[in-house]
Amino acid sequence: MEVKQLETLVNGAITDSLGGSEIALSENLENVVDVGTAFENLPKTDKIYEKFTGALVNQIGKLIVVNRSYTGNAPSVLMDSWQYGSILEKITSEMPKVTKNESWDLKDGTSYDPHIFHSAKAEAKFYNSLTTFEIDRSIVDRQIRQSFQSASQLNAFVSMLFNETQKALTVATEDLIYFVIGNMIANSISNADDTKTAAINLIDTYKAATGDETIKADTCIYKPEFIRHAAYMMSLYQSKMSALTTMFNLGGKQRFTSGEYAHIITLADFMKAADIYLQSDTYHDEYTRLTRGDTVPYWQAPGATFSFKDASTISLTPVKPDGAVGEKVTQSGILGVIFDRDALGVANFDRRVTTEYNPKAEFTNYFYKQDARYFNDFNEQFLVFYVKDSEAV
């Protein structure tokens, strides 16, 4: 063990901490802080020997096994599962047309036929795709016992390995859920038009409402007036989506999304800004509080710096409503989405593990398998709220 003397450093630190003079301490902190050394980088010197005889090797006095579970940050869009059958069938119908009530317009000698058949209009969609992947892991028993001092230490190590596998499965599932949501976002932004309100640029609505032309997409979340406007617009459109309309889905179908069916997801940057700017200066915060839903740290990836621009960006090639591959969509400034519970989801989620012991080499293989069906339904309501600077004319 390397032993370092700190009398000079400590005396200088005490002098500085008592105050009354300029900070003079400029000691190199490698004499204080131990950042650890990887096994392959351990020095081939007397640092691993005790200082009494110089011959006895230092022993491990405490073992810390880092074994922390990761639950993920992806929104909860899991649906039910089934064991038999393959196809997920979704049947929808449309409202019948209103016709004339002839009871109040009877004419002498006119026949009123009650035997006319009025067919119901229905549409069925079939989802029959499955995604799957696997993670394989080998665990030995006897070969690593010599590296631990007790069965409990060995069990802690093996438990850590299993936990890392679960983390990998969680992260993989999390990323796939982000892709499912991202596909809806990309299509909503690229296919919105005058008849389909699928994406709302809050920069444009803010300028129209206030006349403030100075607002910018990259700094708007730091402006309380804009945050209030954004929260107002999200709450307003959530109410509008509860009315039966064809405006808020790309399929132009008659749909409504009442409160219990609405799923709201907001970017953490925006939600935290709303928490601070809306609540800190308002006594009755219930009047400005955003409807709570899921909060995500990013829509696709944190990027290089986890900045607002990186976290609020999607960049992917989506599958269009007709099943064709669309053009690549790259859009930053996505603040939140509101959608019907039936617009997207993960169905028939199945995670399982099988094992096989190798008696010759004395190890056990674990095969972690995961299947699921990730779907989008563009006939259901889905709204994107984002910020984008208007292009110069």
Highest mean pLDDT among 40-54, 71-85, 253-267 belongs to 253-267
pLDDT in tens, 138-172: 998 888 888 888 889 889 989 999 999 999 988 88
pLDDT of residue 114: 87
pLDDT of residue 315: 93
Q: What is the CA angle 148-150-153, rounded to 5?
A: 65
pLDDT in tens, 316-361: 999 998 888 989 999 999 999 999 999 998 888 889 999 999 999 9
Output 353 or 80, whichever has higher pLDDT: 353
Q: Quick one: what percent of the chain has pLDDT higher than 70?
A: 81
pLDDT of residue 68: 75
Mean pLDDT of the chain: 83
**Residue 2 pLDDT greater than 70, yes or no:** no
pLDDT of residue 189: 92
Mean pLDDT of 52-81: 74
pLDDT of residue 335: 97
pLDDT of residue 276: 84
pLDDT of residue 317: 92
Contacts of residue 138, Cβ cutoff 8 Å, sequence gap at least 6? 363, 364, 365, 366
Confidence of residue 283 (pLDDT cuts 50, 70, 90): very low
**Residue 89 pLDDT greater than 90, yes or no:** no
pLDDT of residue 73: 79
* Closest-CA residue to 297 (of 334, 263, 338): 334
**Residue 64 pLDDT greater than 80, yes or no:** no
Identify residue 377 by its one-letter amino acid code: D
pLDDT of residue 393: 42
Q: Quick one: what percent of the chain has pLDDT higher than 90?
A: 41
Contacts of residue 167, Cβ cutoff 8 Å, sequence gap at least 6? 69, 70
pLDDT of residue 268: 94
**Residue 34 pLDDT greater than 90, yes or no:** no
The half-sphere exposure of 8 on its side-chain side, counting CA atoms within 13 A, is 9
Mean pLDDT of 281-303: 71
pLDDT of residue 129: 80
* Closest-CA residue to 67 (of 173, 137, 153): 153
pTM value is 0.82
pLDDT in tens, 219-254: 999 999 999 999 999 999 999 999 999 999 999 999
Cite the beta strand spans of 128-256 per DSSP E. 131-140, 199-201
pLDDT of residue 39: 63
**Residue 314 pLDDT greater than 70, yes or no:** yes
